[in-house]
C-alpha cells in the first residue's frame, strides 16, 4: 500500500498540539487520533484563552465550550456545544461520534454523557481568565445590573473591535479565538477537529460555527477538508467549511475554492473586527489558508520537517 507523507495544518495557536500530533502521525497513527490529540494539547493549556481550560468566560463568567471532529474516511462526525464543567470538549465530541447515534449534543446532554463516560468534572475558569473577564467590564464601564437586559450587556462587551484601539493593537481586547487542525496520515486519510470557548462575554448558550459540521468544520477524504476560526456567526450563515469542500468537489483548485468561500463571506454585513479565517487541505496533502483580513497566518508541518512553519493566509484580491 502507498505510504503517504503525513501533513498537519492548524490555526496560529496550534504549535504545541501540532508537534504532539506529528509525533503520532510519524509512528503511523491515524489522522483522527492526531487531530484529537492536537486539540487536547491546546485545550489543556491554561495560557490559551480561546480554547478549553482557561477559555474566556461568557457574560456571566461561565466557560462554555464548543468542539467538533470529523473523519474524512467515513464522513462520521461528532460535536458538543455550550458544555460547562468539562475541559476536553474534543474528546467529548469524539465520544458523541463513537458512542451515540448522534452528531451534536448540547449543554446538559453533553455534560451528562461526559459524566456517564467517567470524565472528571473540573472548573474551567482560571484566575487569569476571570481577571480578564472582569477587566472588560471596567474598560467598557459596564456592570452586571439586573435592571439592564443581559442581551444588552453582552452586546456591549462583545461589540466589534475598534481596530484603532490601542488595546486591540496590543493584542489585548480580542474576544475571538479557536484552534483547528486538519491532518493527513500515512494511509492518506484526512481528519479535522475544532475546539473553542467561543466569543468571550457571549450571551449564555451562544453556539458558534466550531461544533456545526459544515459551518466551522468539514472533512471528506475524496475532496479535502476545511476548518474555520473567527466570528462564527459569519461561517454559520454561508456554511463556509462545507462550501469550500464542495467547490473542490466541483473541480476548483484549492486556491479558487478558498477564494470562492471568501466571496461568500464578503456579501455578509461583517463589521470591523468580525473576521473569518479558513485553513484547507486537499487529499494530496496540499494546503492553504484564507482570511478576510490582512496579516493572518496559519501553521503547517509535514513528516519531513523538524518544526511547524507559519504561512500567509490568502486574501481576496483587490
Ligand atoms: N469561531 C469560533 C466561534 O465563533 O465561536
pLDDT of residue 261: 98
CA of 176 to the centre of ligand 1 (A): 7
CA of 53 to the centre of ligand 1 (A): 16
Atom number of ligand 1 nearest to Cα 197: 5
For 193, the grid coordinates are 477537529
From 79, 209, 212, 226, the mutation candidate for ligand 1 (largest count of ligand atoms within 8 A of CB) is 209
From 13, 52, 66, 82, the mutation candidate for ligand 1 (largest count of ligand atoms within 8 A of CB) is 66
Ligand 1 lined by 291 (C-beta under 6 Å): no
CA of 54 to the centre of ligand 1 (A): 16
| Closest by Cα among 176, 155, 198, 187 to 68 | 198
What is the reported pTM?
0.94
- Strands 309-312 and 65-71 come out as unpaired
Q: What is the mean pLDDT of residues 19-35?
A: 98
Residue 194 near residue 67, CB atoms below 8 Å: yes
Q: Which pLDDT tens digit goes with each residue over 95-132?
A: 999 999 999 999 999 999 999 999 999 998 999 889 98
Helix, coil or strand: residue 158: helix
User: Rounded to an integer, what distance in angstroms lies between the CA atom of residue 209 and that of residue 241?
Assistant: 9
Count CB atoms within 10 A of the CB of residue 279: 30
CA angle at residue 201 from 199 to 204, to 5 degrees?
Answer: 90
pLDDT of residue 162: 56
Atom number of ligand 1 nearest to Cα 198: 5
7-11 β-sheet, strand order: 104-106, 76-83, 65-71, 190-196, 179-184, 7-11, 297-302, 309-312
**Could you tell me which residue, 190 or 168, shows the higher pLDDT?**
190
Phi, psi of 154, rounded to the nearest 5 degrees? -60, -40
240 is catalytic: no
Ligand 1 lined by 55 (C-beta under 6 Å): no
Helix, coil or strand: residue 155: helix
For 60, the grid coordinates are 456571566
Q: Which domains does the chain have, with CATH numbers?
A: 7-124+172-315 (3.60.20.30)
- Indicate whether 310 pLDDT > 90: yes
Ligand 1 lined by 230 (C-beta under 6 Å): yes
Exposed, middle or buried, 80 (CB in 10 Å: 0-12/13-18/19+)? buried
- Indicate whether 228 pLDDT > 60: yes
pLDDT of residue 164: 47
Residue 288 near residue 271, CB atoms below 8 Å: no
Task: For ligand 1, atom 4, name the residue with the nearest CA.
Answer: 232
Q: Which pLDDT tens digit goes with each residue over 72-100?
A: 999 999 999 999 999 899 999 999 999 99
Ligand 1 lined by 68 (C-beta under 6 Å): no
Atom number of ligand 1 nearest to Cα 177: 2
Using only the alpha carbons of the chain, give its radius of gyration: 18
Ligand 1 lined by 217 (C-beta under 6 Å): no
Ligand 1 lined by 177 (C-beta under 6 Å): no
- Strands 309-312 and 297-302 come out as antiparallel
- What proportion of the chain, given as a percentage, has pLDDT over 70? 94
Phi, psi of 181, rounded to the nearest 5 degrees? -140, 140
Residue 283 near residue 221, CB atoms below 8 Å: yes
User: Rounded to an integer, what distance in angstroms lies between the CA atom of residue 11 and that of residue 15?
Assistant: 9
User: Rounded to an integer, what distance in angstroms lies between the CA atom of residue 268 and that of residue 235?
Assistant: 10
Amino acid at each position: 500500500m502507498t505510504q503517504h507523507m503525513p501533513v498537519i495544518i492548524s490555526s496560529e495557536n496550534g504549535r504545541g498540539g501540532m508537534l504532539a500530533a506529528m509525533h503520532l502521525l510519524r509512528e503511523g497513527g491515524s489522522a483522527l487520533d492526531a487531530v484529537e490529540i492536537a486539540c487536547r494539547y491546546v485545550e489543556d493549556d491554561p495560557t490559551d484563552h480561546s480554547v478549553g481550560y482557561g477559555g474566556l468566560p461568557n457574560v456571566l463568567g461561565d466557560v462554555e465550550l464548543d468542539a467538533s471532529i470529523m473523519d474524512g474516511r467515513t464522513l462520521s462526525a461528532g460535536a458538543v456545544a455550550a458544555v460547562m464543567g468539562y475541559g476536553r470538549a474534543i474528546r467529548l465530541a469524539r465520544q458523541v461520534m463513537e458512542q451515540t447515534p448522534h452528531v451534536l449534543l448540547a449543554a446538559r446532554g453533553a455534560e451528562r454523557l461526559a459524566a456517564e463516560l467517567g470524565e472528571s468534572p473540573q472548573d474551567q475558569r482560571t484566575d487569569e481568565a476571570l481577571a480578564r473577564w472582569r477587566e472588560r467590564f471596567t474598560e467598557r464601564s459596564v456592570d452586571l445590573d439586573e435592571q439592564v437586559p443581559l442581551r444588552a450587556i453582552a452586546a456591549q462587551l462583545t461589540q466589534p473591535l475598534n481596530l484603532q484601539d490601542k488595546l486591540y493593537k496590543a493584542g489585548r481586547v480580542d474576544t475571538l479565538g479557536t484552534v483547528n487542525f486538519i491532518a493527513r496520515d500515512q494511509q492518506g486519510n484526512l481528519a479535522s477537529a475544532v475546539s473553542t470557548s467561543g466569543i468571550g462575554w457571549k450571551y449564555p448558550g451562544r453556539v458558534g460555527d466550531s461544533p456545526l459540521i459544515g459551518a466551522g468544520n468539514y472533512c471528506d477524504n475524496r475532496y479535502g477538508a476545511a476548518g474555520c476560526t473567527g466570528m462564527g456567526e459569519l461561517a454559520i450563515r454561508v456554511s463556509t467549511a462545507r462550501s469550500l469542500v464542495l467547490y473542490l468537489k466541483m473541480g476548483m483548485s484549492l486556491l479558487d475554492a478558498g477564494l470562492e468561500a471568501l466571496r461568500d463571506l464578503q456579501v455578509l454585513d461583517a463589521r470591523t473586527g468580525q473576521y473569518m479565517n479558513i485553513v484547507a487541505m486537499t487529499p494530496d496533502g496540499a494546503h492553504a489558508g484564507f482570511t478576510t483580513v490582512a496579516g493572518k497566518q496559519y501553521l503547517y508541518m509535514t513528516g519531513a520537517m523538524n518544526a511547524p512553519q507559519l504561512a500567509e493566509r490568502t486574501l481576496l484580491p483587490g
